[in-house]
Amino acid sequence: MGKFAGWVGVGLLAYESVAGFSQAFAVEDGSQKQADGVLKGIAGLGGAAFGIGTLIMAAVPAAGLILLGGGLAFWCLGTAGKYFTKNKSFRNFFSAPVRGIKKLFS
C-alpha cells in the first residue's frame, strides 16, 4: 500500500508541475504570475523527482540519491523563489525560457 501511495503522490506532483508550466504559458509575458507558474512547475518537478528517488532507493541506491538531491534542490528553488518574483530581474530570468518557446511557436 505504501508504494502505491508513493506513486500516487508522484503522479500528483507531476500534475502540479504540468499545471504550473501551463499557467506560465497562459499569462502575460514577463509578469509575476508567469514567473510564479514557472517556479510552481519547477517545485512540482523537484517534488516528483524526490518521490521517485525515495521509491527506487532500495533497488538502485546511486540513482535514488541523485534523484533525492536533485529533487530537493529543484523543490527548494521553486518554493523559495516565489518570494522573489517581485524583483524584475529575477522574474525575467525565470520567465525567459517560456517567452522564448512562445516566440518560437508563434
pTM attached to this predicted model: 0.90
* 3-class DSSP string for the chain: CHHHHHHHHHHHHHHHHHHHHHHHHHCCCCCHHHHHHHHHHHHHHHHHHHHHHHHHCCCCHHHHHHHHHHHHHHHHHHHHHHHHCCCHHHHHHHHHHHHHHHHHCC
Q: Which residue has the cell 509575476?
A: 32
Give the mean pLDDT of 79-106: 91
- Convert the pLDDT of each residue in 23-76 to its tens digit: 999 998 888 999 999 999 999 999 999 999 999 998 999 999 999 999 999 999
- Convert the pLDDT of each residue in 73-90 to its tens digit: 999 999 999 999 999 999
Is it the case that residue 2 has pLDDT exceeding 80? Answer: no
> Residue 85: which domain range?
1-105
Report pLDDT for 3.
Answer: 84
Report pLDDT for 78.
Answer: 94
A 10 A CB-CB count for 59 gives 8
Q: How many domains does the chain have?
A: 1
